[in-house]
Amino acid sequence: MSSKLRKKWFDCKSIGVQILSLPKRCALSRFTKTPLALAMVASLVQVSIVPIALADSSTTDKDSHHNSRTVTTQPNIPSDVAPYLNNSAKEPKLSSKVLSQLLRERIKYVFVIFNENHSFDNEYGTFPGVNGLYSDGQKPRSPEKTPGFTQTYTDVNGVNVTVQPFRIGPEQNSSVVDSVDHSHTGLATKIHVVNGEPQMDQFAYDEYTRFASKGGAGNISTGTQYANLVMSHIDCDTIPFFWKWASRFTIFDNIFATEDTPSTPNAVAMLAGQSGETQWVKHGPSGQSYTVGSHTGTTQGPPLVNDPQPFYGSQFDETKDNKQPAGTQESYADTNIASNLTFASLPLTFLGRDIKAVLSNNKNPSFDLPDIQQDIPFIQQLGTTPVNWRWYQEGYNLEPTDTNGVASHNAYVSHHNGAQYFGYIANTPQVSDSLRGLGDFFTDIANNKLPKGGVFYIRGGYTNQQGLKPAITNPNTPADEIAAINAAKSGDDDHPSYTDRQLSEAMAARVINAIASNEKLWKQSAIIITYDESDGFYDHVPPRILSYGPDGLPLSRGVRVPLILISPYARTHAVSHVEGDHNSVIQTINAIFGLPALASLPDEEQALKDGNSAEFNKFGPPGFEQKYLGPRDINSSVSESLLSGFDPKRLLGISPALPGSFAIIPDNIVNTLPHYGSKGCQALGITPEDQRQGIANKVPTGFNPLPSTYPAANP
């Protein structure tokens, strides 16, 4: 060892860290006078050079959520990514404790762009390096070894029909498709659990039968189209922005919907890690009956398994002052209102040492606070620093698209606002003040009115604030079809029912550009792009079944969803394979802000214990134990945080932080549709996995991606 290298080795060892071949002097030396350095010394941190675990080629997808993979590097490094790429085969190995300490020093803002309704395979099934439709991320995989790749159903004539995954692109106007079946019962049918293991083989069957069973040529034709649509997937020609961020930063390929349900339960789970399981354990599954004026009904849940509207803001809410809004395009039938949710969530732990003072202003404590009576003094005693937070959702209040200075709520998808379902949020003025409109996010950023640090959720809605029309990428599209698309698909939260995918990625780009163009803000930020649930689109990876609901159907987990981590301290061109769901986001927030796990709070901890009993185990198959009727935001074999997506070298200062320009997409590109002239893969220099392998793409004859929006094209 040379004298120069020995000097570097000695300098690093002096603070309890061992790193070889650092430039000039130990890159950690500037930390030696900080509390972080002292903490690292105190915990006897040792950083060694170790290889990152790669995929085990002998591991099948049937047990993919049990394998030992952690992080891998994506293949085919684009020239614009190469200068920022660290060699992930050799890097400092840090404990989760030290990673958390480093993140608390670096990250002050967490932004969650919370999109709607796409499975992982539907959007990233051919993304290079991930566990996708044609590869495990390292090696090609045959259809025979891919669960559900070949789907079969019997049509009304007794003919067996086979459907396999296929790619749709600009020629199919792939940025606009109709929504498939994502009901609780439909999803249970699709994943098809046998002996505790989802087979992932009844997606096409469910779609065909839900229409064809009604009889008539029209329904049979529609069912055939949906049976094809559910197996379709897209790539970088359709969503180039999302693929660009996934290539430049870290994409996670083993994250699932928390609940095997539609949107609302998973919107709630983003904040609470559950949809009401602990409340079910404490009080049973029955809702409450209400009669208010001419309205009579019984509320749904807990747990929530459908898309009922929030209690606060509904016809059963008799609040007079500061009443929560109701979406004008939403169904507020007397049978479609949720029970008031009263279990713990992040906004509760965000209150920290101020929790008692803030909740003393709740307007109806006996109704809103019954299931957190032990949690409140527990959180108060911890004395944690309160964390700022906001839930920015399009249409919640006055938006730039409204006229005459009056909030119309026309863009508001109220059943997507997870925060509004909790009484202690909606009915406590100091807490409900954190609920804002989407326009407020951009105004707050522009005027430097964003709170100093915190967690900020961003959701779109039924329209888009740029005034853009959907991308029509097929020049031969009939005028009446274009009119139907323009009328139905101008939203921006990525929900297939009412959005255009490129309008949705444009909204995400507006958010990311606003953050990344502010250098001070960018340097302290982590941005998470993820989804509530799959919409019911096919995905081949079986979720781990963790719980069953009072209806005897699988409750947790649901189908795999996309997740991308963007940060100046993120890994570049990486894939993380850690297993998790929305609890993984909560775990990451807990780590960054030093919050207690929701699962560790006394009310939740007791409910988790009580749920694993004969009274609740009976809802699962024989021998099943209900160990997870509640949040699971404590790192374990079934739920891991997103810390693997951060680059230790960047956090330690060995490598420079990524610049904001690495995340920015210029406004002229964002606002020009179709993005990159429908040649996103070429513009990004990415070859999707199916094309790399030379797999022939077979679009079904007469395929119509809009069987409900434009039924005239159904054969």
Any idea where the domains of the chain sit in the sequence? Answer: 96-135+235-673
> What is the pLDDT, as a whole number, of residue 285?
87
For the cut 80, the answer to whether the pLDDT of residue 648 exceeds it is yes
Q: What is the mean pLDDT of residues 629-647?
A: 95
Rg (C-alpha) for the chain, rounded Å, is 25
Q: What is the pLDDT of residues 531-568, one digit of tens each?
A: 999 999 999 999 999 999 999 999 999 999 999 999 99
Query: What is the Cα 393 distance to its own chain's centre?
Result: 15
Q: What is the mean pLDDT of residues 453-470?
A: 96
For the cut 90, the answer to whether the pLDDT of residue 604 exceeds it is yes
> What is the pLDDT, as a whole number, of residue 405?
92
Alpha-carbon distance of 472 to 477, in angstroms, equals 8
The pLDDT mean for the chain works out to 91
Percent of the chain with pLDDT over 70: 90
Buried b (16+ CB within 10 A) or exposed e, 219-242: ebbbbbbbbbbbbbbbbbbbbbbb
Of 504, 506, 502, 524, nearest to 515 (Cα)? Answer: 524
Q: What is the pLDDT of residues 414-451, one digit of tens each?
A: 999 999 999 999 999 999 999 999 999 999 999 999 99
Q: What is the pLDDT of residues 70-102, one digit of tens each?
A: 999 999 999 999 999 998 777 888 888 999 999
Alpha-carbon distance of 555 to 630, in angstroms, equals 11
Are 532 and 519 contacting, i.e. CB atoms less than 8 angstroms apart?
A: no
Q: Residue 319, SS3?
A: coil
Question: What's the pTM value of the predicted model, to 2 decimals?
Answer: 0.92
- 267: number of Cβ within 10 Å: 30
Phi-psi region of 301 (alpha: psi -120 to 50; beta: other; left: phi over 0): left
> What is the pLDDT, as a whole number, of residue 703?
97
> What is the pLDDT, as a whole number, of residue 227?
98
Amino acid at position 431, single letter: V
674 cis-preceded (ω within 30 degrees of 0) = yes
Residue 181, CB-side half-sphere exposure with 13 Å CA sphere: 25
- One DSSP character per residue, 283-305 reads H-S---EEEETTEEEE-B-SSP-
> What is the pLDDT, as a whole number, of residue 322?
87
Alpha-carbon distance of 157 to 143, in angstroms, equals 27
Of 627, 630, 642, 555, nearest to 599 (Cα)? Answer: 630
Phi, psi angle pair for 430, to nearest 5°: -70, -20
**Dihedral (CA of 396, 297, 282, 373) sign:** positive
For the cut 50, the answer to whether the pLDDT of residue 55 exceeds it is no
Please give the biggest Cα pair distance in the chain.
Answer: 87
Q: Residue 160, SS3?
A: strand
Q: Residue 338, SS3?
A: strand
Strand partners, 646: 570
Amino acid at position 465, single letter: Q
- Which residue is listed with tokens 């958010």? 511
Distance between terminal CA atoms of the chain?
75
> What is the pLDDT, as a whole number, of residue 37?
41
Q: Cα torsion for 681, 693, 171, 179, to the nearest 10°?
A: -90
pLDDT band at 126 (very low <50, low <70, confident <90, very high): very high
CATH for 96-135+235-673, options being 3.65.10.10, 3.40.50.300, 3.90.850.10, 3.40.720.10: 3.40.720.10
Of 300, 306, 268, nearest to 287 (Cα)? Answer: 300
For the cut 90, the answer to whether the pLDDT of residue 223 exceeds it is yes
How wide is the angle at C-alpha 15 spanned by C-alphas 10 and 21, nearest 5°? 45
> What is the pLDDT, as a whole number, of residue 46?
36
Token pair, residue 75, equals 């293949």
Q: What is the mean pLDDT of residues 347-355?
A: 98
Q: Which helix (H) or strand (E) holds 669?
A: helix 667-670
- 308: number of Cβ within 10 Å: 24
Alpha-carbon distance of 485 to 494, in angstroms, equals 14
Q: Strands of 109-115's sheet, edge to edge?
A: 71-73, 574-576, 250-252, 563-566, 525-531, 109-115, 454-459, 389-393, 435-436
> What is the pLDDT, as a whole number, of residue 69?
66
Give 503-569 as a 3 state SS string: HHHHHHHHHHHHHHCCHHHHCCEEEEEEECCCCCCCCCCCCCCCEECCCCCEEECCCECCEEEECCC
Alpha-carbon distance of 699 to 697, in angstroms, equals 6
Alpha-carbon distance of 701 to 679, in angstroms, equals 24
Q: What is the pLDDT of residues 158-208, one digit of tens each?
A: 999 999 999 999 999 999 999 999 999 999 999 999 999 999 999 999 999
> What is the pLDDT, as a whole number, of residue 90?
77
> What is the pLDDT, as a whole number, of residue 119?
98
Buried b (16+ CB within 10 A) or exposed e, 585-605: bbbbbbbbbebbbbbbbbbbb
> What is the pLDDT, as a whole number, of residue 402?
95
Residue 610, CB-side half-sphere exposure with 13 Å CA sphere: 14
**Dihedral (CA of 493, 498, 502, 503) sign:** negative
- 385: number of Cβ within 10 Å: 12
> What is the pLDDT, as a whole number, of residue 654?
93
Q: What is the mean pLDDT of residues 301-323?
A: 96
> What is the pLDDT, as a whole number, of residue 659?
97
For the cut 60, the answer to whether the pLDDT of residue 43 exceeds it is no
**Which residues fall within 8 angstroms of residue 704, CB to CB, at 6 or more apart?**
225, 710, 711, 713, 714, 715
Phi-psi region of 453 (alpha: psi -120 to 50; beta: other; left: phi over 0): left
Token pair, residue 474, equals 């097929």
For the cut 80, the answer to whether the pLDDT of residue 22 exceeds it is no
Are 439 and 644 contacting, i.e. CB atoms less than 8 angstroms apart?
A: no
Q: What is the pLDDT of residues 233-291, one digit of tens each?
A: 999 999 999 999 999 999 999 999 999 999 999 999 999 999 999 999 999 988 999 99
Token pair, residue 356, equals 């008692």
